Amino acid sequence: MSSDLTKIPLSESEMPRTWYNIQPDLPRPVPPPYHPGTLQPLTPPDLMPLFPVALLQQEMSPERYIEIPEEVFDIYRLWRPTPLVRARRLEKALDTPAHIYYKYEGASPVGSHKPNTAVAQAYYNKLEGTRRLATETGAGQWGSALAMAGRLMGLDVTVYMVKVSYQQKPYRRLLMESYGATVYASPSEVTEAGRKVLAATPNSTGSLGIAISEAVEDAVKHEDTKYSLGSVLNHVLLHQTVIGEECIAQLAKADEYPDIVIGCCGGGSNLGGIANPFLRDKLTGRKPNLRVIAVEPAACPTLTKGKYLYDLGDSVGLGPMVKMYTLGHSFVPEGIHAGGLRYHGDSPIISLLYDEGLIEAVAYHQNPVFAAAAQFIATEGLLPAPESAHAIKAAMDEAIKCRESGEKKVILFNLSGHGHFDLTAYDAYFQGKLVDTEYSSADVEAALAGLPQPAGV
């Protein structure tokens, strides 16, 4: 029997005290990172100029559970537990017997799930004597999260913000600066990587791959500075599992368990964060029929149209090569409004789960995604980030299938952020001016052609 609650409460004392590391439960190990120059496996010392030891240990940890440090937990308590809400008014509008729940990560101070890892990364860096963190940001959500975490932990933060976003989203930049961060439009004159791009293409509007190269170079060249990544890596997904662990506790109070768990997928961190604790039950045989759906934009369909290969994480090859679904590191997707979903690659953990058939993926065009967001706004009153609207669209499609089949499924999705800094995107949609692009398979083929692969993998 499910309860008649709309918001499912969880007290601070019931919050999870550990993160869940899915790696020991996976059917095979996550392939190790490789050096882009030598094509040899990377060892932790190779990565020490970039990351603190504690995070490198988490990256490859065989432990299923890792304790959340007290200081991180105290900061989590500023906004966690986040609400789990039953979307009753949306269910009614769709006339579906399904129960739809959403986990609202937009409740964090910067408006998304990103602080769950930003705070943890800043904490371990501080412990190991890092003075400054360098990072990139696309749409600005990650940069805002790290800027806040740096401020709370007493670290300086430098953000390389993709130039097109820097120009289109001045308020995101101002938010980062309000936390004391230094923000450069990328490509910038500050790094060699940036200067090279500007020399070749003075009008470059930037890409996440270029901005990552700039941040990595900044970290490598400064002894007191480390690099911080907001998605993709194993330790990022680990920190995000606080989302799914809270959902399990909240749904238990409503006497429910999801049939389907949904998240949008850029680098894979909000999806892994909500889904991995549920996948634990699938992997250990308790819930063999659980479905997990990754949702991506048709303009950047990494899982649905990419290939499972070793590829660079950045555009220049300063960072490691990882095995992931990729559209090729030189692939530049069209400038859609869901900036957080424009990355060419994906988390190695999510990629492995997809390759093993343990999760599904679907890609949508922007107009139907915004139509779903508009219906969500009209029923639930909440204006989602364009990234999160992808998950809403998939949840609605599954709920409509339930209407047709009469099945009373429980659908859970991650509402990874609010869209209060994305109103120009909504304006374009409501005025019928949203440019809805499709990826070009020829561009992907060109970007993937001749990617060097390490021997024997």
Ligand X SMILES: Cc1ncc(COP(=O)(O)O)c(C=O)c1O
In the complex, the residues that contact ligand X under the rule CB under 6 A are 112, 138-139, 141-142, 231, 264-271, 340-341, 385, 387-388, 416-417
Query: In angstroms, what is the minimal distance from the CB of 42 to ligand X?
Result: 22
Query: How many of the other CB atoms lie within 10 Å of CB of 88?
Result: 15
Min dist CB 262 to ligand X, Å, is: 12
The least CB distance from residue 414 to ligand X, in Å, is 8
Cα Rg, the chain, nearest whole Å: 20
**Nearer Cβ to ligand X (99/106):** 106
Q: How far apart are CA 187 and CA 198, in angstroms?
A: 7
Question: Which of 257, 308 has the CB closer to ligand X?
Answer: 308
* Closest CB 231 distance from ligand X, rounded Å: 3
* Nearest distance, CB of residue 182 and ligand X, angstroms: 20
Tell me the closest approach of the beta carbon of residue 343 to ligand X, in angstroms: 8
Nearer to ligand X (CB atom), residue 271 or residue 316: 271
Residue 197 or 275: which CB sits closer to ligand X? Answer: 275
What contacts 5, CB < 8 A, 6 or more positions away? 86, 253, 254
Q: How far is the CB of 366 from ligand X (least distance, A)?
A: 15
Question: What is the closest distance, in whole angstroms, from the C-beta atom of residue 272 to ligand X in the complex?
Answer: 8
Closer to ligand X by Cβ: residue 256 or 313: 313
Nearer to ligand X, 130 or 416 (CB): 416
Residue type, 150: G
Residue closest to ligand X, measured at CB: 340
Question: For ligand X, which is the closer residue by CB, 234 or 269?
Answer: 269
Q: Which is nearer to ligand X, 94 or 139 (CB)?
A: 139
Q: Which is nearer to ligand X, 142 or 413 (CB)?
A: 142
Structure tokens at 293: 């759906």
**Least gap, CB of 37 to ligand X (angstroms):** 27
* Residue closer to ligand X, measured from CB, 36 or 417: 417
| Least Å from the CB of residue 286 to ligand X | 26
Taking the alpha carbons of 374, 379, 384, 390 in that order, is the dihedral positive or negative?
A: negative
